[in-house]
Structure 1
């Protein structure tokens, strides 16, 4: 089991920055091993993200916080493709669970972490292109500075499956339509029949039914067992920053990238539905603000008309 090979988790929350850095390096090595990363259970992922949450919690000063936030966001680039979606789900589950416990003094660095993860998720949607590996934010920045011209073709190379996966995660967590989405399958199941102690034929059926239901509960993904009560503040933050992060990865280059336009329109549809169905006035207002961003399609800036200054006298 993968969890037996994660002794570094406790060190992620150490008060000693050197120990935290060493634990993070161990995590990189751990996740780089494909045979390990692909066997991580949802519980393992939640344990790792809890450790990473406290690594950010213990990190002081602006520059180290910015560096750590980017490092945590870029972890998806060392994971095998099939492990990225469970990893991102673990992130949103952890942030949703811990959000209300973050104090005012620490909130800013977690706002940055969410921003970086959203940006990394958008960048991951482009996928590996022309046989190249996925590119982290740090690598992308270097390539912009010293890259060759003609790399613009890569901007439109969106991976359809990855796009679907990331948009599904956004709809499932920060853009969840209900303020409190819980797993309802158990309540919808029929009640167990009461076993008659004198009815020998009923006992085996009753026991097998109970065993079957127990197995179903054990096999459920723990991430889906969590009550997805997304804090309003977390939703509002994602509504505030998603357009900025979309712009950074070229998702707003509508004239040169028709596929990007389709992706943005899908996100807009999710936010429109959120605006209509939310019971939170704050989320409704911020949804409207997000949809009215001048950078989105159909929201072009209107030319500002100059006010009539009146008669200015005779020209000399």
Structure 2
């Protein structure tokens, strides 16, 4: 049964012009969402209502530091949401799906003076989403990039920010471009791009990164030229493992350079 607004009265307070009321409402929301029995009863429509309130909470927030703190607080909700043992994605994925649906719906209406804080919000939530995807396996050291969480998150990315059909009425160009701008940065922060001492963990992270690469490659074939160009640019980032020059390749380049060099005539 859907939770109506009588059971979530804090939603309208999230968009209050009074900062104290907004802060109090966010605290109430956090308590509400972290209750396992409550969160699992919410419908997709309930999550959309929540994110509409959170969207306008960001809209009403002024000054850089409070905006940065709010974006971090909203992103941190991902890590605090319940992850039922029978279905780890039952709460987090619907919550994030509503986030992407809300940002996609509102993106073109965001004015230039407010855009920067929404760009930050997307970055923070995207980073928190990848971090959550890597926390799926319990009882092992480090992040594990396989399993239910990883599968659910990659499917969600294909469904929304990296939507495969190129439907710009579903995910606007500007939002796609921003996610293409940040995905390598956020992967680097989570050490997805570095070598691991544990080979099994490295294999998992390589698999996740390769699957993410495949999703982005679809964007490089988009009918929208800016999206196509930005996707290709992100995939050629020198930080990505497949773009790095190995030591053997460096030696080959040096050898080739030596063969072509000319030191002048002998005396």
TM-score class, shorter:
0.7 to 0.9
TM-score (norm 1): 0.71
Q: Which one has more relative contact order, counting CA pairs under 8 Å at least 6 apart? A: 1
- 1-side partners of 2:195 and 2:208: how far apart? 10
Kindly indicate whether residue 188 of structure 2 is the aligned counterpart of residue 247 of structure 1: yes
Distance 1:157 1:173 in 2: 23
Counterpart Cα distance in 2 of 1:268 and 1:91:
23
- What's the secondary structure of 1:251's corresponding residue? coil
Counterpart Cα distance in 1 of 2:230 and 2:138: 39
Which residue number corresponds to residue 187 of structure 1?
Answer: none
1:236 aligns with 2:177: yes
Q: Which residue of 2 aligns with 1:120?
A: 128
TM-score in terms of structure 2 length: 0.84
274, 285, 291: which is aligned to 2:219?
A: 274
Count of residue correspondences: 240
SS at match of 2:239: coil
Q: 1:291 to 1:31 in 2, by over 3 A?
A: same
Residue 9 of structure 1: SS of its match in structure 2? helix
- Alignment counterpart, residue 233 of structure 2, candidates 289, 295, 315: 289
Distance 1:300 1:58 in 2: 44
Residue 86 of structure 1 corresponds to: 94
Per the TM alignment, residue 253 of structure 1 is displaced from its structure 2 partner at its CA by: 2.2
Query: Partners in 2 of 1:43 and 1:51 — Cα distance?
Result: 13
Consecutive unaligned residues of structure 1, counting only runs of 5 or more, are: 132-152, 182-227, 312-316
Deviations 1:94-137 (A, max 9, x none): 00000000000100100000001110011101226656xxxxxx
Q: Is the 8 A contact 1:12 1:51 kept in 2?
A: yes
Aligned mates of 1:19, 1:114 — CA distance in 2: 24
- The 1-side partners of 2:143 and 2:9 are apart by 42
RMSD of aligned Cα (Å): 2.2
Helix, strand or coil: the match of 2:52? helix
Question: Are residues 63 and 154 of structure 1, via their aligned partners in 2, closer, same or farther at CA, if it must alter by over 3 Å?
Answer: farther
Aligned twin of 1:96: 104
Return the alpha-carbon distance in structure 2 between the equivalents of residues 95 and 163 of structure 1.
22
Q: Which residue of 1 aligns with 2:42?
A: 40
Match of 1:75 in 2: 77
Distance 1:156 1:10, change over 3 A: closer
CA spacing shift, 1:163–1:36, aligned 2, 3 Å: same
1:139-172 per-residue CA deviation (whole Å, 9 max, x = no partner) reads xxxxxxxxxxxxxx73343341100111111111
Q: After the TM superposition, which residues 125-164 of structure 1 pair with which residues of structure 2 at under 5 Å, given as runs?
A: 125-127=133-135, 130=138, 154-164=141-151
**Aligned equivalent of 2:30:** 28
What is the SS of the residue equivalent to 1:253? coil
1:53–1:45 CA distance, 2 compared to 1 (3 A): same
- Residue number in structure 2 paired with 1:141: none
Q: Does 1:258 align with 2:199?
A: no
Which sits farther off after the overlay, 114-123 or 170-179?
170-179
Which of these two proteins has the greater Rg computed from alpha carbons?
A: 1
